[in-house]
Homo-oligomer: A and B are copies of this chain.
Amino acid sequence: MNMLFDDQQLDTRARLVKAAAAIFVEQGFGAAKVRDIVARADANIAAVNYHFGSKEGLYAAVIQYHSAQAMENLSQQVTGSRRRVPAAQLRDFVRTFLQRLLTDTPQFTMGKLVAREMVEPTAAFNLIMEKFVLPQYHALRAIIRSMVGAAPPEELVRRCCLSVVGQCLYYQSARQVVSVLDPEFDYGEKDIDRLAEHIVAFSLGGVHQLVRSGTTAARKPRPARADDR
């Protein structure tokens, strides 16, 4: 239990964490098979129970390991863009979020694990929520709030946050659908950048639209608009 990752000659424990991370991301915790993991790690079946106690313990280790670097990414992201215009902050947020969600390098494994937990929660759900989802959510909420001012109700800000996140997450959770509807999209850096541009522009328009209609329209009875009926 000395250093976890060397580089070349990893010990069994480290190889297991690495292989498990990949398979958990690909298939989710439930569908992942321990035998597949140890096969990829080139280790023996008993190793996972010896080192981690159980499959769940291995999953916890994967999360814990990837948490560390993901967490510092997070904090440097938040502090890094404090001084900018809200719209630029949103751009940074979406770009980073999409990168973590869609890029395939092992550096961004945590983002995909979090996405999995959202759609298919496991025992680690609460931990993931408070360690990753909520901080991210609060960051995004602050950005949106600074864009709309103090007047609009909290609910509007919350809905906008979920709209932004929903747009992003769809490209990861529904990859199969995207690959049919948009076969060109190959999740490369270029594609991700273009997608980020789109989602930012779309969301900026959405937020502004809501501020506009929120200030002019009545509150309770839905105002009859031109597009009704």
Q: Judge whether A158 and B182 touch: CB under 8 Å.
A: yes
Instruction: Tell me whether A181 is interfacial, beta carbon within 8 Å.
Output: yes
Interface size class of A (residues with CB under 8 A): 35 or more
- Residues of chain B within 8 A (CB-CB) of A163 are 167, 198-199, 202
Q: Judge whether B133 and A162 touch: CB under 8 Å.
A: no
Query: Which residues of A, 118-141, contact B by the 8 Å Cβ criterion?
Result: 118-121, 125, 129, 133-134, 137
* Copies of this protein in the complex: 2
Question: Which residue among A31, A129, A177 has the maximum number of chain B CB atoms within 10 Å of its CB?
Answer: A177
Give Cα distance in the complex from A163 to B121, angstroms.
Answer: 24
A26, chain B: closest CB distance, angstroms: 12
Surface stretch bound by B, among A39-47, A72-80, A203-211: A203-211
Q: Judge whether A229 and B88 touch: CB under 8 Å.
A: yes
Chain A residues packing against B (C-beta within 8 Å): 28, 30-31, 84-88, 91, 118-121, 125, 129, 133-134, 137, 156, 158-163, 165-171, 173-174, 176-178, 180-182, 195, 197-199, 201-210, 212-213, 222, 225-229
